[in-house]
Structure 1
Amino acid sequence: MYFVLDVSGTRLLFVGDSQEGAWEHVLDDPVSKALVSSVAFYKIGHHGSHNATPKPFVESVLGHGAYAMLPWGLVKQWENTIPKAELLTALAQLNTHVVRADAPVAAPPAVEVDPGLLWSQVTFTV
């Protein structure tokens, strides 16, 4: 399931736990692909796991300089695989501002973090 919120041309993309099959459908369909293109904000799918955000989406659809939220906390069992290192590298190469739930004090510019570390906020001008 994908949810795209468009506010005066500023798009926010929420993909929940969508995995490879759903991504293939979206990326292979021109209309669907257009809906998820050039978003200002992307909620990274399924905690950044191996099949939740395909590299082609990051490299050719997401666009440069977007904000991406990584809702993730360390789970010992998956500490070496989630979040996927290749995903974080691909995001960094496109100057994506990654807002990480596990590292709120390292939030990118224009991100406000609650002093109690309960929330992060990105403000967009629309």
Structure 2
Amino acid sequence: MEEGIGMPPQSLFDAMDVYIGERAANGTFVDGGGLYGTEDAVNFVVRQGEVTRVDGPYAEGKEVVGGWSLLQYDSLEEAVADQREFAELHAKHWPEATVVATMRQISEAPDMETPGA
């Protein structure tokens, strides 16, 4: 999401309340929330074995993560369709904003091979 474009319209908050409520009721929505802007953010950068702290705001930042959610679906197809609906809510209720809704799967620990097997 673009930073510094203001608050989303109330209609988007209302639509998201319905969207999240439906998914919470059917067990799809596990957790989620909104995030503040980068004005108070703290990044820790690891570069060549050294850790550096960089405090916000970040003048070079054009896009920020505005929120997150953890949802569980029975299939990839169901997840893709539902996330499209999420993006369409933003297009309908906040068309002047550029929003990138990224869907990623949770990585589970790789299977450990038994030594010598």
TM-score normalised by the chain length of structure 1: 0.22
- Which structure ranks higher in relative contact order (CA pairs < 8 Å, sequence separation ≥ 6)? 2
The structure with the largest alpha-carbon Rg is 2
